[in-house]
A and B are shown apart, each in its own frame.
Chain A
Amino acid sequence: MLKNWINVFTYHIKNNKLFTVLNVLGLSIGIAGLIFAILYWNDEQSYDQWNPNKDNVFLVANQMDPTTYWASSSAPIGSAIKNTSPEVESFCYLNGNYDNEIIHYNNKKVQSDKIVVAQKNFFEYFPYSFIEGNIKNALPDVNSISISQDLSQQLFGSESAFGKKVILQNQVLIVRGVYKLDKKSVFNPSCVVNFMDTRVKNSIQQWGNFQFILLLKLKKSTDSEIVTKNLAKVYYENMMMPRAKAQGMSPQEFIKKFGEVKPHLEPLSIVRLHTKTGGLIESNGNYQLLLIFAGLSILVLILSIVNYVNSATANAVKRAKEVGVRQIVGASKIEIIQQFIFETAVISLFSILISLVIVELSLPYYNVFLEKTLVLQSSQFYLQLFVIFIIMIIAAGIFPAVYVSNFDVLKVLRGNFARSKNGIWLRNGMLIFQFAVAAFFIIGSYIVYQQINYMNSKDVGFNGNQILNISYRNIYGEKISNEDRMRKYNGIKNELLRIKGVKQVSGGGFVLGNGAKSVISYHHKDINIDGNNIPVDFGLLEMMKIKIVKGRYLSPDYSQDTISSMLINETALKLLNEKDPIGKKINWDGKEAIIVGVVKDFNIGNPGEAIPPVTIFHFKSVPWFTSLLNNIYVTADPKTMPQTIADIENLWTKKVDSDYPFLYDFVDKEYKKSYSSYVKQKNLFSLLNIIVITIALFGLFALASYSIERRMKEIAIRKTLGAETNVLLIELCKQYIFFCIIGFLIALFPVYYLLNKWLENFAYRITISMFPFLIGFTALLSLTLLVVLSRAYQATKVDVLKYLKYE
């Protein structure tokens, strides 16, 4: 029986090479898309799922206003909640950034960029498996360090690391453990040090200083609500009440005016994808992209399955005789169904194999796109692949098989079956679905394109062309003062200015595109403004061509400019609601500041974000700003740029920082990175757009071919009766135009709704106009006509006699 099936199957493949290839290709592209989505999905979902504590370790997320959640907490709350809430088993403070430092061992230097500063129970929260040492004694004291296997390899080679002494930040540390970093987590440290105790102790009085990440381990995961309430209570009693008292208000009044901290608990298992905060140490999973991608790839797969079903049922008409004969010589319906499902199974298997090849070949690009290192393995993945296979057989196989097995044997054998209208409504329905999906993609990708274009062409308010941004590590430590930092910076600045080609040098405490590093709120006439701090050296704003709207730039000519002068941007001015802001005194963080100028709004975040109110000071005006000085901006003669950069690097590695690599970028390039994820989404959408349109057009082509073939006799009769070619063409095309319009109308609402949702990501966005819809409709209609007309034109050229004599 199998041999017989295979014979028929291979015969059809041989005689319908084009359609078979296109069918298999369509399916395999659809499956490949889904595989990509699954790989991404599996990867994102695997974060922290291995952790046995995932449900009873919680991140304290503090809600500062209706939309802002901070992942950081203040230092005293940890022990306070442990004391007041017996449900809390323990707490662990961690640093919210990886430290990037050099670790010394004898004469060896290894730079490690994922150093986590934590408390000693870190490994009880994240129980990585230990190769040397153990979890309990991983960080017993402040002189301990536990390192990952990779780092151990780099530092000590094949030697045992346990007990060895290394130097980090001028401190001698003893290696207490080596762990395997083989599982994904929101913390993936190359090594962990126990410096957090000191930092917590130093700021134990500062209730309002939210600077560390706090994790709580509860005895029972169901207690999170009680603990949340207790946290709120602790903040209220220790922070709100004293502050209200200091202002001479009742706590209720105080909260009404200044807001309050609302703590929430997020279990570790959901932090990666669903946290409301800006994320812990690793960037958050992009849940939206994940959903978009999964949704679109499923849509593409459905499209390719519909395509397959459509052409399979259309093709089945040609095989009616075979089916009829089989039934007459004794095949039961079940056997016919089995035969056709078998064919689908073989096609599906082929498609899956080809899709695996496609995936394997394009995985490197995909990994670059997602900034991940996905691979095609894991039993979970192959299980999912098997499920896809089964679903495809069910979705793509059963319908055509049942359809075929229900052929009326008598009609088939009398020979007038080919023109029967059996199942035609369903094929047309599927065709309309394809049109709708194609319209969705054409319109959608055009809108996405428009938005990205809009962001690209936006006047960002500065000009970063040919300006170098050099990453400057600055100097820190107990004994280093703000003056030391300023002195060192000025030294570097003078050295840089001496290099040939360098025109201007100026320091800054921000990177355009990344937003401000610190936010300090100030009040003016009962108006609260969350000012984003931009610390600058003289000349920086001029260098970046950030324009002044009112007043003047900061200048060394005015002595007060390094004491109290402050610049704000237009957004801040609007909030201040002052007609004449120049010379106004502001109480800024306990000091008196005087507004001397207003700058034109410029983007410090990505161009889709709203521009926040900005506060600009010279480094010297706010002494601790010097600790934010991590960028030195340089303009140079473009003609000698390569040589100038080489000279700067030479100076840098010799005199400024010999340990760390010299890192720089051009400001405009760097800025583009701030919205690269949206550019990627656009590219993804465009790629899928092409795929979808290709699949849909092929489906249309196949269906038009079959249905025109069915109508060949009618065409022949019309022609003998004197119909002209163009009348025939209209006759053949009009139903497809009709379907095309219906499909387009069906797509209208979903595309409008979903794309509007997507555009909500952007404060600075386009409104959806008629234009993309017009473009989409025109494109869809002209592609449809192109395909159908080409088929129809061929049909009208055929030899009339052939079809009239037939039968």
Chain B
Amino acid sequence: MITIKKLSKIFRTEEVETNALSEISLTINEGDFVSIMGPSGSGKSTLLNIIGLLDSASGGSYELLGQEMIGLKEKLKSKARKENIGFIFQNFNLIDELSVYDNIELPLIYNNVPSSERKKKIEHIAAVLGISHRLKHFPQQLSGGQQQRVAVARALINDPKIILADEPTGNLDSKNGNEVMELLTDLHAAGSTILMVTHSDYDASFSQKIILMKDGVILSEKLNQRNVDVLVTSKN
């Protein structure tokens, strides 16, 4: 699904040149649940942003669903993003001025889904995530866990091919954090492809594969045993 070859990213300021990513290669298959770990400044977020088409790379190749993304025009990137990628953020990034319903609806609007269908979809996903009774509320009126569920609902509403999660539990207490991780595990079990950046070993243990990064390079890739079956089946 995602094939990255020799991807590099260089930040330049007037005096310093920093290699945020130096020639990283990585493959993520459909149905994978991959965690990226590493200390601050290791380049994990940069990698996630490039995969999420929010940032551009300085060199190398990134294929999403067989299509080369490096050097693609902004408009096509935007199209590829809205059709294929769902985002979950540490700080939820919900629009405070819109109700929960309106927040979840946004991706559908921008994908030109007819309004009757939108309503059905939102109600369905709200039921799945247990936030049906919160649809009319505004984000500020919800607990952190509930806000993150709304963010997850928004990420999923469009049936994206891959979900990118940037420290999804970072702003949550352990109880709410657990709930979110269980949610992601359930999604994975249902066949979703997930790429997650995290600091927490505990969270990473939910995934099949853990990639450890430092100073812009991948130090190690480790398979989590208990998920190995899924990995095998998804390769078929």
Contacts and interface: CB of A to CB of B under 8 A. Distances in A.
Interface residues of B, number: 29
Interface residues of A, number: 24
Nearest to B103: A325
Contact of B94 (A8, A325, A335, A410): A325
Given A4-B109, A329-B82, A329-B106, A322 B54 contact: no
Contact of B110 (A7, A15, A329): A329
B97 A322 contact: yes
Interface stretch (B36-44, B73-81, B187-195): B73-81
Name the residue among A12, A326, A328, A332 with the largest chain B CB count within 10 angstroms: A328
Contact of A326 (B54, B87, B106): B106
B93 A324 contact: yes
B81 A322 contact: no
A330 B54 contact: no
B111 interface: yes
Interface string A712-727: 0000000000000000
A11 interface: yes
Interface in A1-21: 1, 4, 7-8, 11-12, 15
A163 interface: no
A410 B20 CA distance: 15
B154 interface: yes
Nearest to A331: B110
B203 interface: no
A410 B55 contact: yes
A8 to B, nearest CB: 5
A71 B109 CA distance: 70
Which secondary structure characterizes the binding site on chain A? helix
A346 to B, nearest CB: 16
Nearest to B87: A328
Given A330-B78, A409-B54, A322 B107 contact: no
Given A330-B81, A330-B111, A7 B98 contact: yes
Given A328-B87, A329-B82, A321 B109 contact: no
A325 B110 contact: no
Contacts of B23: none
Contacts of A11: 97-98
B179 interface: no
A423 interface: no
Given A328-B54, A332-B75, A7 B82 contact: no
Nearest to B104: A329
Contacts of A388: none
A429 interface: no
A4 B78 CA distance: 20
B109 A8 contact: no
Contact of A330 (B52, B74, B82, B89): B82
B102 interface: yes
Contacts of B74: 333
B223 interface: no
A648 to B, nearest CB: 75
Interface string A100-136: 0000000000000000000000000000000000000
B127 interface: no
B93 A410 contact: no
Contact of A328 (B75, B81, B99, B102): B81
Contacts of B52: 328
Nearest to A324: B93
Contacts of B29: none
B116 to A, nearest CB: 14
Interface in B57-89: 74-75, 78, 81-83, 87, 89
B54 A7 contact: no
Contacts of A410: 49, 54-55
Given A329-B82, A330-B111, A4 B106 contact: yes
Contact of B106 (A324, A325, A409): A325
B93 A321 contact: yes
A440 B34 CA distance: 65
A50 B111 CA distance: 55
Contacts of B167: none
B36 to A, nearest CB: 17
Interface string B140-178: 000000000000001000100000000000000000000
Nearest to A329: B107
Interface string A482-510: 00000000000000000000000000000
A466 interface: no
B9 to A, nearest CB: 12
A792 to B, nearest CB: 28
Given A4-B106, A324-B93, A329 B99 contact: no
Given A410-B49, A413-B89, A330 B98 contact: no
B102 A1 contact: no
A327 B95 CA distance: 12
A4 B115 CA distance: 12
A8 B97 contact: yes
Contacts of A278: none
Contacts of B98: 4, 7-8, 11
A12 B97 CA distance: 7
B32 interface: no
A326 B98 CA distance: 12
A265 to B, nearest CB: 62
A322 B103 CA distance: 10
B3 interface: no
B91 interface: yes
A415 interface: yes
B102 A7 contact: yes
Contacts of B94: 325
Interface string A406-427: 0001100101000000000000
Nearest to B94: A325
Contacts of A413: 54, 89, 93
A409 B85 CA distance: 15
Nearest to B157: A329
A325 B98 CA distance: 12
A194 to B, nearest CB: 75
Given A4-B102, A332-B75, A409-B54, A321 B107 contact: no
- Among B75, B81, B83, B110, residue most surrounded by chain A Cβ atoms (within 10 Å): B110
A663 to B, nearest CB: 67
A332 B89 contact: no
A330 B76 CA distance: 11
Nearest to B46: A410
A322 B96 CA distance: 8
Interface string B91-129: 101111111001001110111000000000000000000
A322 to B, nearest CB: 5
B148 to A, nearest CB: 14
A327 B107 CA distance: 9
Contacts of A328: 52, 54, 81, 87, 93
A268 B142 CA distance: 75
Chain B CB within 10 Å, residue with most, of A321, A330, A410: A330
Contacts of B96: 321-322
Interface string A6-44: 011001100100000000000000000000000000000
Contacts of B49: 410
Contacts of A331: 78, 82, 106, 110
A333 B83 CA distance: 16
Contacts of A326: 95, 106, 110
Nearest to B78: A332
A324 B107 CA distance: 13
Contact of A7 (B87, B89, B91, B97): B97
B97 A415 contact: no
B95 A8 contact: yes
Given A330-B81, A331-B110, 16 more contacts: A4-B98, A4-B105, A7-B97, A8-B95, A8-B98, A324-B93, A325-B94, A325-B95, A325-B106, A327-B78, A329-B82, A330-B110, A332-B75, A333-B78, A409-B54, A415-B91
Interface of B: 49, 52, 54-55, 74-75, 78, 81-83, 87, 89, 91, 93-99, 102, 105-107, 109-111, 154, 158
